[in-house]
């Protein structure tokens, strides 16, 4: 069993896509074991995306992530990190495979609807960044 962190980003919450994303998670056996709505502060967004702090898009990315509420979730299942990345599609929606969440709903390389952890170490860091153990169901 593996866990990963999912975020429905502010662009998707604003556009009424929470249900659409959650439906796809449920249909693909990406089990939700924790879920809440948050509105990140700038410091919180910067800490979350600290790996990207030297990138030219860091300032814009962290502004986007605080532009409205987001939904953070913990997903659990076999090989869930890779399976959820596959369901999301490539970072750039124009390169994402047909039928993926980003291909269908993203409007921009930055405003790409969802986030998913990319490895088990980053998943552990990202889950503990938003959830304590009492907030994750067994
Ligand atoms: P995420 O970490 O959000 O799941 P990812 O792992 O597919 O996405 P990363 O390379 O980690 O992609 O980039 C983090 C986020 O930064 C992207 O999801 C996107 O919102 C934004 N981003 C990435 N590359 C660019 C870019 N070239 N220009 C603008 N924004 C970008
Ligand atoms: Mg990433």
Question: What is the per-residue DSSP string for 77-133?
Answer: ETTHHHHHHHHH--SSGGGSPTTSHHHHH--SSS--SEEE--SHHHHHHHHHHH--G
Please work out whether the CB of residue 117 comes within 6 Å of at least one atom of ligand 1: no
pLDDT of 137: 98
pLDDT of 121: 98
Please work out whether the CB of residue 100 comes within 6 Å of at least one atom of ligand 1: no
Q: Average pLDDT for consecutive 10-residue bins of the chain (138 residues)?
A: 97 98 98 98 98 98 98 98 98 98 97 98 98 96
Q: Give the position, in ligand 1's atom list, of the atom nearest the Cα of 64.
A: 20
């Amino acid at each position: 069993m593996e866990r990963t962190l999912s975020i429905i980003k502010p662009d998707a919450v604003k556009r009424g896509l929470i249900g659409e994303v959650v439906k796809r998670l449920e249909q693909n056996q990406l089990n939700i074991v924790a879920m809440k709505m948050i509105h990140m502060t700038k410091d919180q967004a910067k800490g979350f995306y600290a790996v990207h702090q030297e990138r030219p898009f860091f300032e814009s990315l962290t502004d986007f992530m605080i532009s409205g509420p987001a939904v953070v979730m913990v997903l659990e299942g076999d090989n869930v990190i890779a399976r959820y990345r596959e369901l999301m599609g490539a970072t750039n929606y124009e390169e994402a495979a047909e039928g993926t969440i980003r291909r269908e709903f993203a409007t921009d390389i930055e405003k790409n609807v969802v986030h998913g952890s990319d490895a088990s170490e980053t998943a552990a860091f990202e889950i503990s960044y938003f959830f304590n153990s009492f907030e994750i169901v067994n």
